Amino acid sequence: MVKMTAVNVRFFAGLAERAGRRDVYVEIEQGETGESLFYRLDNEYDFGVPLKTLRLAVNEQFVPMGSKLNSEDVVVFIPPVAGG
Amino acid sequence: LELRIRLTRDPIDTRALLAARPNLPDCGGFVTFEGIVRNNNHSKQVSHLEYEAYESLAIKELTVICQEVHNQFPIKHVQVIHRLGKLQVGDVALFIQCMGVHREEAFRATMSIIDLLKKSVPIWKKETYRDGHSSWIACDHGETRHA
């Protein structure tokens, strides 16, 4: 039996609005990275923002967009911030 | 370093916070900054705004920022409070207090914390204008401090 591997993607701000949801579980593919996952999600949700404007956080740590994802990771694409 | 960081949906009671100034007899510089919701941005009339955060990461990131700033400017006390949720014009969105032996480190630390917060802490702001339109605001997060 093949073990399912999924990550929990959480959406914030404009990305949550475009996705129409706050989070989703996504099965990841062999060698999935933040970048490849973003493009797959973008096909579905049409975020309307270029990848280069986003940062990637995995399990509450900022990591490079090309980082490999693992099962159960909590993945957040961080749009440009505007605190203060 | 005495460090207090908080995200809150409740109004920030600046008067109470000022009254609760820490008792640090060796410190002579006490700087307080309040970031207030303006009624305009880029010549648009703002009606209200809404802040949202990735709270756990925002707290972590703010903690790292305050530690870094402390390494640069040896302050003894820092407090950072950021409002979340819907805010009206005139509401306090951000409150920062820094206390140091001298004024210089207290002023510089306060400025640095604001600058770094605006660049990297995962907090987002949606402005709604008097004409009914709204938009998510993007600060310059070009120079990422990470990755």
What is the pLDDT averaged over residues A47-76?
A: 97
**Pick from B56, B119, B146: which is nearest to A60 by CB?**
B56
Chain A contacts of B53, Cβ < 8 Å? 12, 83
ipTM: 0.93
Going by pLDDT thresholds of 50, 70 and 90, the confidence category of residue B140 is low
Q: Is B75 helix (H, G, I), strand (E, B) or coil?
A: coil
Radius of gyration of chain A (CA): 12
pLDDT at res. A19: 97
Q: Tell me if B122 and A12 make a contact (CB, 8 A cut-off).
A: yes
Q: What angle do CA B132, B124, B140 make, to 5 degrees?
A: 105
Q: What is the pLDDT of residues A6-39, one digit of tens each?
A: 999 999 999 999 999 999 999 999 999 999 999 9
CA dist B27 to B15, B22, B75, B111, Å?
Answer: 20, 10, 9, 18
Q: Is B48 helix (H, G, I), strand (E, B) or coil?
A: strand
**Cα(A60)–Cα(A9) distance, integer angstroms:** 12
Residues in chain B: 147
Going by pLDDT thresholds of 50, 70 and 90, the confidence category of residue B7 is very high
Inter-residue contact B109 to B100 (CB < 8 Å): yes
Going by pLDDT thresholds of 50, 70 and 90, the confidence category of residue B146 is very low
Q: Order of strands, edge to edge, in the sheet holding B77-83?
A: B2-8, B77-83, B92-100, B29-36
What mean pLDDT value characterizes chain B?
A: 93
What is the pLDDT averaged over residues B41-68?
A: 96
Helices (H) and strands (E) in chain B, counts: 3, 9
Residue A3 has pLDDT above 80, yes or no: no
Q: Is B11 helix (H, G, I), strand (E, B) or coil?
A: coil
**Cα(A16)–Cα(B34) distance, integer angstroms:** 29
A80: region left, alpha or beta (phi > 0 left; psi from -120 to 50 alpha): beta
Residue A78 has pLDDT above 70, yes or no: yes
Q: What is the pLDDT of residues B78-105, one digit of tens each?
A: 999 999 999 999 999 999 999 999 999 9
Inter-residue contact B45 to B129 (CB < 8 Å): yes
Under 8 Å CB-to-CB from A45, ≥6 apart: which residues? A15, A18, A19, A20
Beta-carbon contacts below 8 Å between A and B = 83
| In the block, residue with structure tokens 């941005």 | B41
Residue B144 has pLDDT above 50, yes or no: no
**Pick from A17, A62, A76: which is nearest to B146 by CB?**
A62
CA distance A28 to chain B (A): 22
For residue B77, give both structure tokens. 């006390």
Chain A contacts of B139, Cβ < 8 Å? 80-84
Which residue out of B51, B136, B143, B144 would a mutagenesis test of the A interface target, given it has the greatest number of A Cβ atoms within 10 Å?
B136
What is the pLDDT averaged over residues B52-72?
A: 98
pLDDT at res. B138: 82
